[in-house]
Amino acid sequence: MSVQSAKTLIIGATAGTGLITAKKLIQQNEPVRIIARNRLKAVQLFGTSNTEIVICDITKPNDALRDAFKGIQRVIYTAAVPPRRASEEEIRQVDFEGFNNVLAAAKSAGFKGRFVYLTTMGLNHSSFLMKILGMIKPGIVQWRLAAIEALRDSGLTYSIVRAGLFKNATAGKRQVASLEEDRPLTMGTAISRNDTAGVLIQESTKTDSRNSDVVVYWQKKAS
């Protein structure tokens, strides 16, 4: 199977950046499979396309989660607690336990492709925005850093994409900066969900076995 026709599994495809990523791939006639917890929402979003829909809850180990990896060549993971206030227990269950369940399912299914994980830039730095995020979602830094370490220790080939502050804007309006080292999350490190989706797809098409860790945000406009 060629890279162009490789089947992509998207986890987190019914909202936010994951939804944009799925739509981009569908527009490119890329075979897509998604994991969703809400069947009605998934069917409303993807029922008219050729998208395969797998209904399961990633926070609970289950056979459907493992079977979702069958025939898959690449994975794009964007699932996270929705952009609202959440308890630390909810964040732990979704952003860490759910992520670990997905990694375990991938390894159990013998997945050999590239696993692309979307997370937040600035987790390794203290900043005003990160403090605010920590107040809204207590424990998010701890559990997302733990998820990164779990992926690094998984033995899977991976790409970690650390994105800046999300904006709703069309792709290509600003130049995207890509760094290898994390930097603080600030108002000046914004990026659109559309541009981020493009980065996720680009990372997923890498065919070598080298792991990747990139930080992406809009470059500053020339004065």
190, two tokens: 């914004």
Say how far apart CA 136 and CA 55 lie, in whole Å: 29
Say how far apart CA 209 and CA 204 lie, in whole Å: 12
Instruction: Count CB neighbours of 104 within 10 A.
Output: 15
Instruction: Count CB neighbours of 63 within 10 A.
Output: 10
Q: 197-213 in b/e burial notation, b at 16+ Cβ within 10 A?
A: bbbbbebbebeeeeeeb
Dump pLDDT digits (tens) for 40-70. Answer: 999 999 988 889 999 999 999 899 999 999 9
Q: Mean pLDDT in the chain?
A: 92
The CA radius of gyration of the chain, in Å to the nearest whole number, is 17
Average pLDDT over residues 118-131: 93
Average pLDDT over residues 179-191: 92
Helix (H/G/I), strand (E/B), else coil: 171 = coil
Of 68, 148, 160, 82, the closest CA to residue 114 belongs to 160
pLDDT tops 70 at residue 35: yes
pLDDT tops 90 at residue 86: no
183, 215 Cβ separation under 8 angstroms: yes
Q: How confident is the model at residue 108 (pLDDT cuts 50, 70, 90)?
A: very high
| Fold (CATH) for 8-218 | Rossmann fold (3.40.50)
Which pLDDT value is given to residue 6? 58
Which pLDDT value is given to residue 2? 37
Q: Domain boundaries in the chain?
A: 8-218
Dump pLDDT digits (tens) for 1-33. Answer: 334 445 999 999 999 999 999 999 999 999 999
Of 16, 53, 57, 63, the closest CA to residue 31 belongs to 53
Average pLDDT over residues 71-77: 96
Give the rounded percent of residues in the chain with a pLDDT score beyond 70.
96
pLDDT tops 60 at residue 174: yes
